Amino acid sequence: MAPRRPHDSGTGMTSARTRERMVDGLRARGIGSEAALSAMQRVPRHLFVDEALATRAYEDTALPIGWGQTLSQPWEVARMTEAVLEVAPERVLEVGAGSGYQSAVLAELVDGVWAVELLPQLARRGKQNLRTLGYGNVRFRDGDGRTAWRESAPFDAGLMAASAEGPPEEILDQIRVGGCLVGPVGTGEDQRLIRWLRNPDGFQAEDLGPCCFVPLRHQAGTPSSSK
């Protein structure tokens, strides 16, 4: 997929230059995928948070987006995007899409994104954000992340932006052989970012290090599908 032109909206602490400094910091911390970094430089993160927080959008920190949810810190977005790109995906599933920032970064890099957000109010905001910026290759809906998007599976890769207690079996089942799912497991300060690579015999788990995400929630009355 051809990269989009940079979105240059913003001045001062929300300018393209501020975005560039954020990317320089991620590169200095070890993010090696220039494709992921270029995508993050193009996407205006400040448009995915409330206006009152826009001047903090390019700090390497998670930011609240309402309803008890957060926008993942740039480092974690970059690290997860980099890990997903290693399988050269064209179709990517995203669970816990929030206000749409990670969806936009992925949309810069792959043919299609299927994004699921549990909270209808937040899903509406995410859809509007992506529509405003012209991302026509993202399908975005509200729904239970634990069941994800069965009818459009299998996906080349998946990205989970909320922490499960264990390997999320039902989401893993929607990843094709040769693909991967990247997401956190664990609770509190004991979370680890895991990449599950699917081979013909099952999944191989790779520990990518510590992380911090909100817990994966499900709709009332829906049982957990984690092992």
pLDDT tens-place string over residues 4-60:
555 656 657 778 899 999 999 999 999 999 999 999 999 999 999 999 999 999 999
Domains and CATH numbers, the chain: 62-210 (3.40.50.150)
78-82, 143-147, 179-183: segment of lowest average pLDDT: 143-147
68-121 pLDDT, tens per residue?
Answer: 899 999 999 999 999 999 999 999 999 999 999 999 999 999 999 999 999 999
| Predicted confidence band of residue 219 (pLDDT cuts 50, 70, 90) | low
Helix residue spans in the chain (DSSP H): 16-28, 34-42, 74-85, 101-107, 120-132, 169-172
Tokens read off for 112: 């299609």
**For residue 227, pLDDT beyond 50:** no
Q: What is the pTM of this model?
A: 0.90
Edge-first strand listing for the sheet containing 175-185: 138-142, 112-117, 91-95, 155-160, 175-185, 192-199, 202-210
Q: Which sequence positions are flagged as catalytic?
A: 72
Between 88 and 188, the more confident residue is 88
Which residue shows structure tokens 């193009």?
42
Cβ neighbours of residue 179 under 8 Å, at least 6 residues apart? 87, 89, 154, 155, 156, 157, 158, 197, 198
CA distance 61 to 25: 12
